[in-house]
Amino acid sequence: MRSYLVERGKAVKRTYSVIDSNQTRKMAVAESNCISTLRQIYKVIQAAYDDRPEYEKDAWDVRKMGVKINLSTSSYTISFTKLHQSWLYQAAKKFISYTLSTNSYNNALNRMTALNKFSGFLRKYHPLLKGSDIDRPLVVEYLSCLVKVNLSKKSRGDYITNLKIFLKLCAREGWATVPNKELIYQEDTPQPDKHLPRYIPQFVLEQLNQHLDALPPYIMRMVIVHQECGRRINELCTLPLNCVLPDANGDYFLHYKNSKMNREKTIPTGQTHLIFRMLTG
């Protein structure tokens, strides 16, 4: 399809604007709509005719595995296609399956990302390496490579910690033939930098609040709750209709599910009557 579009001069890529971590607007380039649409059609047809159990596939739809996902996001798959070593591929499936049974879907995604990174390192520098060949010098080399690719300390820490858990469980559960000894130490994990909070200027908040009526009702309500209660965006998007509860004294409390701790919580609201009116009106 790409060759066909190129030959006829119709391989038009589309551009769109994004905002990076520094709040700077940049232009990004994506494939033409023809390619992206064809890819989606292929995925739908492939999923419809692939009746294998999810555990046998290269990509898992966790919704079919009974895993709870956050309804505010469109992510629901875990792919193993970026693992280039057969021993790592087989062990990763058991590791991620175990993670889904004991941790959250997001935690499983983070661990999968860490394994993808390690697999890419092995493919580039040690393509013939087996699990039993992993030793401390290899780990030190990997730590140096993570520094060279200019990752943040938090990302490096996540990759290292999740790889440490993976190797430990592989040795304990027999998922892969890896050395049954400590290869990654606590001091290998960099401590993330502590950043000062970035407050929104008061005059910006005042401008926003002056134009709240111009927002769609559900966005307006989320903005107010966020200002008064400071919830995460995924927690705001999944608030139930009866999330504001009064107590015996007539004060209102916000009842929500803490996505990070996976438990329900109740906190006092700020401008109680205003929030209650916006949510129920």
**b or e along 252-263 (b: 16 or more beta carbons within 10 Å of the residue's beta carbon)?**
bbbebbebeeee
d(CA 93, CA 143): 24
d(CA 122, CA 26): 33
Residue with tokens 């009866």: 242
Can you state the percent helix, strand and coil of the chain, rounding each to 5? 50, 10, 35
d(CA 136, CA 47): 42
- pLDDT for res 240: 81
From the first residue on, what is the mean pLDDT of each consecutive set of 10 residues in the chain (281 residues)?
A: 85 82 82 86 89 92 87 87 96 96 92 97 95 96 92 92 97 95 93 82 90 88 83 83 80 78 76 54 54
d(CA 114, CA 88): 12
- pLDDT for res 278: 57
Q: Where are the domains of the chain?
A: 1-51, 55-188, 202-280
Tokens representing 183 are 């290869």
- pLDDT for res 275: 57
What is the bridge-based pairing of β-strands 252-258 and 263-268? antiparallel
**b or e along 79-106 (b: 16 or more beta carbons within 10 Å of the residue's beta carbon)?**
ebebbebebbbebbbbbbbebbeeebbe
CB 166 within 8 A of CB 114: yes
Residue with tokens 């595995």: 65
Per DSSP, the three-state class of 167 is helix
Task: Enter the pTM of the model.
Answer: 0.78
